[in-house]
Amino acid sequence: MAFKLETVIPWGRSLDEYVRMFDLQPDELKFTLLDCAGGPASFNAEMTRQGYTVISCDPIYQFPAKEIKRRIQEVYPTVIDGVTANRDNYVWQTIESPEALGQIRLSAMEQFVDDLSMGIEQGRYINAALPILPFTMNQFNLAVCSHFLFSYSDLLSLEFHLNSIRELCRVADQVRIFPLVDISGEISPHLSPVIREFNNQGYNLEIKQVAYEFQKGGNQMLQVTENVETCHGASEC
């Protein structure tokens, strides 16, 4: 089935939010980074301006910047109205109000739109989607994925999650996924079976508290790292 822009609700986050969501340390910003399902975040644009290396992938990148901008303008009032109507589901500290949220998101998405054409030419924005990515094994030091896996557990099956995380582990030395709650604010039902499956496969998994919480309960990430000793002892490594 063809991917349609009309089915997407573009909603981008900033470099500052990525740093807090994924507990990115200063030395880790120097890594070769993959932002998977990055959407219209300004992470790539801001990092590139600071001289860092990020590749973002998302099927939304197949569309021209002007069409994405139009879609952002279409859905923005509806999203803000929804947040306002459900404001008790959010933590209003760093972000003080729905209006402030809107300004932060619009700023991030405007930076993305302005950067998209050049980023595509430079190979920084790739039209690709989980569970199959067009990257080589261990191409990245770190892959991050926000507000996609676990967030949409009602739409994306456990099998999809397992295949997607396995693919992220193929292309990156370490994977970080945020948050661990679904859009209702409940811990994803896929989290426990994912942890169990990857533990059984010899990966190191850690749930880490992070210095970011906007959606109530959404203040943890899952970190997945291949167990080097286990890998070195396996014939397929």
Other beta carbons less than 10 A from residue 99's beta carbon: 11
Among residues 150, 131, 155, the alpha carbon closest in space to that of 221 is found at 150
Q: Facing residues of 32 across strands?
A: 53
pLDDT computed for residue 230 by the predictor: 47
Q: Which CATH class is domain 5-232?
A: alpha beta
pLDDT computed for residue 227 by the predictor: 81
Percent of the chain whose pLDDT exceeds 70: 95
Which strand (E) or helix (H) includes residue 176?
Answer: strand 172-178
Whether residue 229 is predicted with pLDDT greater than 80 in this model: the reply is no
Q: pLDDT-based confidence at 2, cuts 50/70/90?
A: confident
Residue ranges covered by each domain of the chain: 5-232
Contact 141, 108 (CB under 8 A): no
pLDDT tens across 142-196, in order? 999 999 999 999 999 999 999 999 999 999 999 999 999 999 999 999 999 999 9
pLDDT tens across 103-148, in order? 999 999 999 999 999 999 999 999 999 999 999 999 999 999 999 9
Whether residue 5 is predicted with pLDDT greater than 60 in this model: the reply is yes
Q: pLDDT-based confidence at 56, cuts 50/70/90?
A: very high
Whether residue 236 is predicted with pLDDT greater than 70 in this model: the reply is no
Whether residue 234 is predicted with pLDDT greater than 50 in this model: the reply is no
Percent of the chain whose pLDDT exceeds 90: 94
Q: List Cβ<8 Å contacts ≥24 apart for 191-195.
A: 191/150, 191/222, 193/158, 193/162, 194/158, 194/161, 194/162, 194/165, 194/222, 195/222
Sheet of 140-146: strands edge to edge? 125-126, 53-57, 32-36, 140-146, 172-178, 220-226, 203-209
